[in-house]
Amino acid sequence: MKNTALHPNDGKLALAHIAVGYIALFLGAIAGLLQAFVRSGTLELPAGIGYYQLLTAHGVLLALVFTTFFIIGFLYASMSRTTGDLTPFAKKAGWIGFWLMTIGTAITTVMILLNKATVLYTFYAPLKASPWFYIGLTLVVVGSWVSGAGMFSQYAVWKKKNEGKPSPLLSFMAVATMILWIIATLGVAVTVLFQFIPWSFGLVDKINVLLSRTLFWYFGHPLVYFWLLPAYMCWYVIIPKIIGGKIFSDSLARLAFVLFVLFSIPVGFHHQILESGITPFWKFLQIVLTFMVIVPSLMTAFALFATFEISGREKGASGLFGWVKKLPWTDVRFFAPFMGMLVFIPGGAGGIINASNQMNQVVHNTLWVTGHFHLTVATTVALTFFGISYWLVPHLTGRTLTPRLNKLGIIQTVFWCIGMFLMSGAMHTVGLFGAPRRTAYTTYGDHPQALEWMSYQTIMAVGGAILFVAILMILYIVINLAVAAPKGTEEFPVGEVHEDAEKTPLLLENWKIWIGLSVVLIVIAYTVPVIDIIENAPSSPGFKFW
């Protein structure tokens, strides 16, 4: 394993992805801030901008663009760091993928700004956008596939040279994440290519709405693990090195990733519990599988506690919680991802509530759900990605994280947590009182219940404003680390496995078995209901409500 900096060209590839990701973060956050103010009743949007137009921009730029670009950049950097310089093929695929994704993002964003695609990031039919919106999204997905092919080939070349050895953990995880992504995006590709594009071009009049939504969530749920797994890569492999400890168990980490490949996908119905037209039995089955996919997260929590405790005790900690004091609290490379972990405890618990049938009736389509994912993706994942940026960006640009930027990073993290505590806390609470998500400011004719929601929506705006300040801080830090911080070297931390851990069984690397099992589970969970939907669900013409 090489410990020096990445090959400069590999570094540029990763950096290009991260740069687009942060631009999307900035634009998306402006929309988020405005939304929070609109909902509190303190702002009316000028210049004919619609609330849903903003919300579409926010969801697409943050949930789809910021995440995907950052992740692919990070995965490429991780592959290069642990399997050696990228092969010419992998590098070329990475750049072709990058440009396809960037052009796709540009087309999609322009369509949203032109108000021709105000269909939200879930683009539910029968809302009908300009075909170019869907074409842009297709380019993003196809670009990510090309990048995936580059990573798979890089991995295959390493495997050939190192027969009989388990691959480096970070590369294994990158490959698992991309496998999950490819299987998941097949669903969205099918609905976009065969349903949305022909329909939005007017080649067919009607669309099977339920089929399109089902294919969307076949993709939409594993999508959230595509965001989460790179954060887990940081927690399992990078954090142990930063805290001066060791990885608790290589096998456990790999098994967790394999379980995500198996159970992430056949669970989309937990977003459709209240969708009519799907037989309760199949919903029940997918909910059971949803509870299976909680297991690898619980394993992760266990492994992290073990890592923290073992490393603390090796440094002389005593008592039940003495190890907490041995953690490097003033190092933002640790502190930001750690706060992400902490937030994932209520975030994950909220997910379990959502997935429980009766409780879903209470929370579905309320601001509770919006609160849930601002904890999971917008805090757990986002803070971990910030945590990665603090060392990855200077590592790639040959600069250093100065004590001043480190301190600013700590303040940034604190701001994010306070802002999100207020915003997400208010969303969760007012959601339980019935306040709907995806709704601009309205008092429903001064209905007493709706008036009761308003103070919470004001708290949301206060939280949103604090979050926006934190966005400006992270951008300041990242730009500094990219172009202005002092020249130097910044380590790409990769942890070693604890010597007490068991040897990794090679079975875990047998992708044929895992992909095969994943396909079997998908076939079991989806075949009958999808046939039923194709045969029986009615089709609808398109609508443009904006």
Residues with active-site annotation: 221, 225, 372-374, 437-438
The residue written with tokens 């502190």 in the block is 335
- The enclosing H or E element of 78 equals helix 67-83
Q: Which residue is nearest to ligand HEM (CB)?
A: 32
Which one of 132, 438, 475, 496 is in contact with ligand HEM (CB under 6 A)?
Answer: 438
35 binds ligand HEM (CB under 6 A): yes
Tokens at 68, concatenated: 């995907």
Q: Are 175 and 82 in contact (CB under 8 A)?
A: no
398 vs 434, which CB is nearer to ligand HAS? Answer: 434
CB of 213 to Cu ion, least distance (A): 13
* Separation of alpha carbons 232 and 257, rounded Å: 9
CB of 362 to ligand HEM, least distance (A): 17
382 binds ligand HEM (CB under 6 A): yes
62 vs 522, which CB is nearer to ligand HAS? Answer: 62
User: SS3 helix, strand, coil % of the chain, rounded to 5?
Assistant: 75, 0, 25
Binding site for ligand HAS (CB under 6 A): 122, 224, 227-228, 270-271, 290, 293-294, 297-298, 300-301, 304-305, 324, 341-342, 344-345, 348, 351-352, 354-355, 360, 364, 369, 372-373, 376-377, 381
468 vs 526, which CB is nearer to ligand HEM? Answer: 468
DSSP 382-442: HHHHHHHHHHHHHHHHTB---HHHHHHHHHHHHHHHHHHHHHHHHHHHHHHTTPBSS--S-
39 vs 254, which CB is nearer to ligand HEM? Answer: 39
* Separation of alpha carbons 392 and 389, rounded Å: 5
- Cis omega before residue 493 (within 30°)? no
* Separation of alpha carbons 145 and 192, rounded Å: 15
* Separation of alpha carbons 401 and 335, rounded Å: 14
x/- track of binding to ligand HEM for residues 45-64 (CB under 6 A): ----------x--xx--xx-
257 vs 373, which CB is nearer to Cu ion? Answer: 373
* Separation of alpha carbons 516 and 510, rounded Å: 10
CB of 377 to ligand HAS, least distance (A): 4
Q: From the list Cu ion, ligand HEM, ligand HAS, none, which binds 342 (C-beta under 5 to 8 Å, kind-based)?
A: ligand HAS
* Separation of alpha carbons 105 and 496, rounded Å: 38
For 392, residues 6+ apart whose C-beta sits below 8 A from its C-beta are 14, 18, 74, 77, 492
Q: From the list ligand HAS, ligand HEM, Cu ion, none, which binds 352 (C-beta under 5 to 8 Å, kind-based)?
A: ligand HAS
Q: From the list ligand HEM, Cu ion, ligand HAS, none, which binds 40 (C-beta under 5 to 8 Å, kind-based)?
A: none
Q: Which residues of 422-452 are buried (b: 16+ CB within 10 A; e: fewer)?
A: bbbbbbbbbbeebbebeeebeeeeeeeebee
* Separation of alpha carbons 265 and 522, rounded Å: 7
Q: From the list ligand HEM, ligand HAS, Cu ion, none, which binds 283 (C-beta under 5 to 8 Å, kind-based)?
A: none
29 binds ligand HEM (CB under 6 A): yes
Q: What is the largest CA-CA distance in the chain?
A: 71
x/- track of binding to ligand HEM for residues 463-502 (CB under 6 A): -x--xx--x-------------------------------
67 vs 249, which CB is nearer to ligand HEM? Answer: 67
- Which residues contact ligand HEM by CB under 6 A? 29, 32-33, 35-36, 39, 55, 58-59, 62-63, 66-67, 120-121, 370, 373-374, 377-378, 382, 437-439, 464, 467-468, 471
